[in-house]
Structure 1
Amino acid sequence: MLSGLGVPDLRGGFGTYTFYTSAPDQESREGEHTVIIEGSVDQRIATYLPGPLDRRTRSPHRLEMTIERRPAAREVLVRVQGSKEAHVVQEGQWGPWLRVRFKLGFLQAVAGLVRFYLVRQEPVFELYASPINFDPGEPVFPISFPPEYAGKLAEALGTYYTAGMIEDHNSFNNGRLDEIAFLDQCQRLWDERQRMMLFELERFQEGLFYCLYDTPDRIQHMFWRFREPDHPANRVYGAAREYREVIGEHYRIADAVVGRALEYVDDRTLLMVLSDHGFKSFQRGVNLNTWLHGQGLLAMKKGLRPGPDTPDLLQYVDWSRTKAYAIGLTGIYLNMQGRERDGIVQPEEADELKQSIVARLSGLPDSARSAVAIHGAVAREQVYRGPYVQEAPDLLVNYAPGYRTSWSTAMGGIPRDEFEDNTRRWSGDHIVDPAVVPGVLWMNQPFRPEARLQDLAPTILEAFGAEAAPEMEGTSLWP
């Protein structure tokens, strides 16, 4: 088993890249470490590659790095301290993996892998360095089972991405990489994942084989706006016609992958092809905390009002007068006494308060669009069961197509307006009413309709002749 989403980069984040630029007025953007190249950009640039944070200084460990510019050849030569390799990176192209090693202390070091993309050399120099991935042969902690599997896979197929969120949507969202660079990276990931799948299918004899292709999700997040001329993000970035069919093209790639897998299927093999959700446009964000403030359920500290300068993480909230708040992407929390540090909602008040919020949210209109923004909301107990229900928000909000929790709400912000246009390149999403983004399931055997995710485990167990555990919620899909 090889780990996927959730594996951090070497800096401990989920995709912190480095951007080198000679523009003097650049500030770091989301998920980015910016390195300003000061002075004249001559043929040889001395700079550094930032690595894991030093626990004492809270600043990153560094490796010295040189960039030798070759403008006539439209390329650079990158050398990093301690690495025996030096790599040529051409303009508009991805360089190969470069192995690096950061010394953290006496007899302690961590290994990683980084690759570069030369954005341009003139009139401003810009070079992108990927998040530093774990070296699969020397991961900081095990990323596979058995632990040595990750390294053996690299020995067989060559090194590969190990960070959980591989497609670097942050750099694309921030305008550091363009559509061409992002799509090129996505294609490399398709190829890499398919090589893994085919390598293992060649060796596979019996049991359960599972392979995840998550690139279609990232493609739809980032390219949905090209399907919609009126998407707010197109006012900022335009909508080049050549990208309108990108989503469809990637579904055709996915279809071809299924075709390759079918080559290994016989009459004793059950094949399941699954997507756990669909997609919709994300044109407008709902500022839930601003709405809660307007409903008298969230109070701000004395003299303060919602606005663009309010900080994230609910820092301006007066908890002594607040009954509900929102943070994250999925819903609303009550300020419960005994649970939240400064909770004021008594347990016996909770149900009535939740019912009141649900009633007020259901059918919430966006007057600027003459549209319904929220279909409704449900208590978490209506959706989840089991020992981890308490981890979910108290209320889950079911957005209408075109709407989602705003970027500010996700970080606990309280902007001025209840609604805002989504002008980011991240223009499609699936955090909406589940009824409008159903997943899909195909099997090479007959199965009953109206399948649910909970039904997969019992179905697979029955295929092996085993019974589902009593605590499982689903039932087998075999007719």
Structure 2
Amino acid sequence: MRRRGLIPAPARRLSSSTATWILLALAVAAVCAPPPMPGAGWGFAYVGPGAGFAFMGSLLAMISAFFLTLLSLVAWPVRLVWSLVRRRQGYRKARVRKLIFLGLDGLDPVLTERFMAEGKLPNLAALRDKGSYRRLRTTFPSLSPVAWSTFATGVNPARHNIFDFLNRNLKSYLPELSSSRVSGPAKVLKLGRFRIPLSNPMVEMRRKSQTFWKILGEHGIGSTILRVPITFPPEEFNGRLLSAMCTPDLLGTQGSFTQFTTRVAEATYESGSRYPLERSGEGLRGVLRGPANSLVEGGAAMQLPFELRPRGGAYELEIDGQKHALKPDEYSPWLQLAFPAALGVKVRGIARVMITETTPEFSLYVTPINIDPENPALPISHPSYYATYLAKLLGSYATVGMAEDTWALNEGVIDEDAFLSQAYSIQEEREAMFFNALDRTKRGVVACVFDTSDRVQHMFFRHLDGRLPAGRHTAVIEQLYQRMDALVGRAMRYVDDKTAIFVLSDHGFRAFRRGVNLNAWLRDNGYLAMQPGYEGDGAYLRGIDWSRTRAYTFGLAGVYVNQKGRESNGVVERGAETAELCRELTEKLRGLCDPADGAVAIQQVYTAGKIYKGPYLNAAPDLIVGFSDGYRSSWDAALGKTSEEIFSDNTKAWSGDHCIDPVLVPGVLFSNRAVDAMDPGIEDMAPTALHLFGVAKPAWMEGTAVFGVVPEAQG
């Protein structure tokens, strides 16, 4: 008998319908589709099924919403009575009426304590003095998708199956997104070059175990969960949810910007693309690429031509039949974009644009094309109408998982001021959602994670740690913490003696000055071999000779053994041989020194079997590498490349990080109630939520409530 919480989360099918008119509409749309248009690709690894999927998702969602609305109207009186009964029963043992989780991703305890001591964070200091403050243990590794998954489920990674942003495919060795999988329809009708989907696509959540909000919902206690990482696709439960980290953009990537410029011809960036702007009289012309048209065999990217014309010191953008006034160095509002897939079939997204230079050359930046929350092509909320409700009520908003465009700043496509403007604009969108939820919630849970604190520290840490001379951006991180403190102050207005509030972060922050390519180290020390005569960048583990490779790395978490019976071309025997290899690698890597100055680059190495327990242990890195302050897996190593040099300088704007030894980067935990636990961990938040509402902790949940007497675990 499978224990509750360890049952794999099922793949979610979009709402199904077999009505004949749907298939007829699809057939007509495909037959009338325009011929493929030429277009360039974009350089990113995770491209989704494309327009056919998006169209099916939108169409079926609309049909489902219509019938669900009718059903809801009919069933409303019965549901209302049943809901009142369940709620009354659910709150009988509750110790609070309301619980607020305010997540400030990446808020560092060292900086927080320093700024509190200097009197710069009055609201957090007051919360500490009236309630409690502790440093919060993070996960191994200290990565946001791992830590927030543990926050939600109360279990270690080997029980929720999230170890990094990426997994490796054990058959192909190619990386896959760890949190979700999107696949196209299994059945397709072929009519010449047209492809008509006859079955529904799949959107699968790969995080396992159960969330505390789902468990509370089963006891009649509702929750509103906003932008908590690793919630795409959204699960069904008693409450509302808006997905966050790892929600794709309309192209199916994790965020691909576009730059148009007269400066150069077409080129590709690490996580975006560059296309030419053509001068036309006094104006300029370009073509915005959307997702591939999967209604046509080999369908190219759908396109929207646009024109820019000078208008009295500003510019007018005309795209998709709309006209928008643009001023240099100012973001446009969210633009509604409808990419034509076929006659009457459009795939909808949103983007913001900004003119970044006008003379002597002209450049236009376009954010990643987000899924339109008013017409979502993929499920991004529960209930499905919740995303639309927020957009109608508060205005359009960013939906992609990592909405702050760190790569555009890394590549120099936008500058630091443009990045900050974007980040704080997104922060304002999230704040509007958060306070709307607090206004609506008289009892139950409101949980919201703000990731601006993480993104700004990633990009501005070099201004804090002395790498750059003092300037106008020196105080950006201090100002960021003060903004977060002000947010806490606003949230405290919703707290009374029947409300518990936790302000927490998933990890802290350190400088990222030097990268370490462990594939290069493994090669130089005889553990990894390249194919004879291989030439190329070797991204995504290409060019490795697996028949002569015993260990390898990619991503940010650690080292994998090329194990026989697990990897398709494994060479290391399970059991004693794997254990001996892990012991040998641990001894050699621990204390690894940087030849540049003799500094220790790797502080500790952890064996997976000693820090994890659970059914998904086999998916974990075999060794978790605890880098020292200032070091991290290099950019090349994160992509699975084997570079020439082991050590390299980090020259990107992304200058702060937390992918190091987790003991160096704990998070923070503030509460308006006295926390009894002296060494709380992020795994303790889920059982604490259950405890506050008088719900017994399931036996599989590993964390412990941080105060009070924990109820007996139920079997």
**CA offset at residue 240 of structure 1?**
5.7
Q: Deviations over 1:12-43 (max 9, x none)?
A: 111111111001256221111211124x4642
Once the two structures are superposed, the pairs formed by residues 312-351 of structure 1 within 5 Å of their partners are: 312-348=539-575, 349-351=577-579
1:179 aligns with 416
2:393 aligns with 156
Aligned: 1:393 with 2:650: no
**CA offset at residue 387 of structure 1?**
2.4
2:357 aligns with 120
**CA offset at residue 383 of structure 1?**
2.5
Once the two structures are superposed, the pairs formed by residues 266-285 of structure 1 within 5 Å of their partners are: 266-285=496-515
Aligned: 1:77 with 2:312: no
Once the two structures are superposed, the pairs formed by residues 196-235 of structure 1 within 5 Å of their partners are: 196-230=433-467
1:8 aligns with 248
**CA offset at residue 229 of structure 1?**
3.2
Once the two structures are superposed, the pairs formed by residues 51-200 of structure 1 within 5 Å of their partners are: 51-55=290-294, 56-57=297-298, 59-70=300-311, 72-73=312-313, 75-81=314-320, 83=321, 85-200=322-437
Percent identity reads 40
SS in structure 1 at match of 2:382? coil
SS in structure 2 at match of 1:354? helix
**CA offset at residue 163 of structure 1?**
1.1
SS in structure 1 at match of 2:597? coil
Contact 2:685/2:705 (8 A) holds in 1: yes
Contact 2:265/2:275 (8 A) holds in 1: no
Once the two structures are superposed, the pairs formed by residues 349-428 of structure 1 within 5 Å of their partners are: 349-428=577-656
Contact 1:22/1:41 (8 A) holds in 2: no
**CA offset at residue 312 of structure 1?**
1.4
Aligned: 1:37 with 2:298: no
Cα distance in 1 for partners of 2:463, 2:471 equals 7
2:259 aligns with 19
Opposite residue 23 of structure 1, the aligned amino acid is R
Alignment partner for residue 50 of structure 1, among 289, 296, 321?
289
Q: Deviations over 1:195-214 (max 9, x none)?
A: 11111211111001111110
Unaligned runs of 5+ in 1: none
Q: Deviations over 1:325-375 (max 9, x none)?
A: 111111111111122221110113100100110010011111212200001
Contact 1:49/1:80 (8 A) holds in 2: no
**CA offset at residue 58 of structure 1?**
5.5
Unaligned runs of 5+ in 2: 1-240, 709-715
SS in structure 2 at match of 1:28? strand
Q: Deviations over 1:166-202 (max 9, x none)?
A: 1011111110100110111111112111111111211
User: In angstroms, what is the RMSD of aligned CA positions?
Assistant: 1.6
Cα distance in 2 for partners of 1:383, 1:122 equals 57
Contact 1:87/1:96 (8 A) holds in 2: no
Cα distance in 1 for partners of 2:358, 2:410 equals 21
Cα distance in 2 for partners of 1:193, 1:415 equals 40
Opposite residue 550 of structure 2, the aligned amino acid is K
SS in structure 1 at match of 2:356? strand
Aligned: 1:436 with 2:664: yes
Q: Deviations over 1:420-469 (max 9, x none)?
A: 00001100000000000001101110112210111111111110011111
Contact 1:374/1:397 (8 A) holds in 2: yes
Cα distance in 1 for partners of 2:352, 2:697 equals 45
Q: Deviations over 1:53-112 (max 9, x none)?
A: 233335311012111134x51x2211112x4x3111100101111111112235532111
Cα distance in 2 for partners of 1:139, 1:240 equals 44
Aligned: 1:242 with 2:472: yes
Opposite residue 630 of structure 2, the aligned amino acid is G
Cα distance in 2 for partners of 1:153, 1:302 equals 56
**CA offset at residue 316 of structure 1?**
2.1
Aligned: 1:289 with 2:519: yes
Aligned: 1:251 with 2:481: yes
SS in structure 2 at match of 1:440? strand
Cα distance in 1 for partners of 2:244, 2:562 equals 34
SS in structure 2 at match of 1:218? helix
Contact 1:42/1:69 (8 A) holds in 2: no
Opposite residue 397 of structure 1, the aligned amino acid is V
